[in-house]
Chains A and B, each alone.
Chain A
Amino acid sequence: DTGVSQDPRHKITKRGQNVTFRCDPISEHNRLYWYRQTLGQGPEFLTYFQNEAQLEKSRLLSDRFSAERPKGSFSTLEIQRTEQGDSAMYLCASSTTAEGGDQPQHFGDGTRLSIL
């Protein structure tokens, strides 16, 4: 168990630029989640995948946001035309619905996005 890995850890970009984050879940986990956390608040759900299928998206996820998990392993979260309000910590988590018993989410250390 190498844990959930997120890259990059920090991203600074100018308003209007596109950014892409990557998440590598725990290898045997079939579910992958994206959350956004702003200062002083708890994580807010954005979207989740079961294997390669994106099963749910929050209303928080505007058209500028897109997430993929093409082969059911790693996932990417892209934000197009970034805005000041996108500045936040983006957290990835994975879990499993294995026959041996469901396991709760394990979180990565997040990608902190700062929009100049």
Chain B
Amino acid sequence: AQSVTQLGSHVSVSEGALVLLRCNYSSSVPPYLFWYVQYPNQGLQLLLKYTSAATLVKGINGFEAEFKKSETSFHLTKPSAHMSDAAEYFCAVSLHNAGKSTFGDGTTLTVKP
């Protein structure tokens, strides 16, 4: 069984500041890990994914995440926040790149001007 814990349901940063959203996972087998972004009344958009090729994964909109097996973590970062980054972010784990995912409860990112 897999599970995901997102630490911090709300994160607030100033525009231009570093964004760090935390995700820890539990999986009995090597996992596939994903970060999604969700804007109000919309579905989920894939930001990036880890599929064992490289531990540092670069995604869209300047986001990246690092897979750390020893810490069972897959934290999402962005060097400089933009106002348009304000949204809800979900970390997810799957046994398969194309398989069903187990999601965390999400982190709402607020960006202050």
Number of interface residues of B (CB under 8 A): 26
Q: Say yes or no: A103-B103 contact (C-beta < 8 A), given A43-B44, A109-B41, A110-B43.
A: no
- The answer, among B43, B97, B106, for a CB contact under 8 Å with A104, is B97
The reply to whether B106 and A95 contact each other, CB–CB distance below 8 Å, is no
Which residues from A are CB-within-8-Å of B32? 104
Q: Does chain A have a CB within 8 A of B92?
A: yes
B97 near A102 with CB under 8 A, answer yes
Inter-chain contact B45/A107, CB cutoff 8 Å: yes
Chain A interface residue count: which class? 20 to 34
Interface residues of B in 65-113 (CB under 8 A from A): 90, 92, 94, 96-106
Chain A residues within 8 Å of B45, by CB: 107
**A101 and B46 alpha carbons, distance in the complex (Å):** 17
Select from chain B the residue with minimum beta-carbon distance to A48.
B100
Q: Which of B34, B97, B102, B104 contacts A45 (CB 8 A)?
A: B102
User: B104 contacts A42, CB within 8 Å?
Assistant: yes
Give me the interface of B with A, judged by CB distance under 8 Å. Answer: 4, 9, 32, 34, 36, 41-46, 49, 90, 92, 94, 96-106
Please name 9 further chain A to chain B contacts, defined as beta carbons within 8 Å, in addition to the given A42-B90, A43-B44, A95-B97, sorted by A numbering.
A40-B106, A42-B4, A45-B100, A97-B98, A102-B97, A107-B36, A107-B45, A109-B41, A109-B43
Q: List 7 A-B contacts (CB under 8 A).
A: A40-B9, A42-B4, A48-B100, A93-B43, A104-B94, A105-B98, A110-B42
Instruction: Please list the 9 inter-chain residue pairs (A to B) with the smallest Cβ-Cβ separation, ordered nearest first.
Output: A42-B103, A107-B43, A102-B98, A102-B97, A95-B98, A107-B44, A109-B43, A97-B98, A45-B100
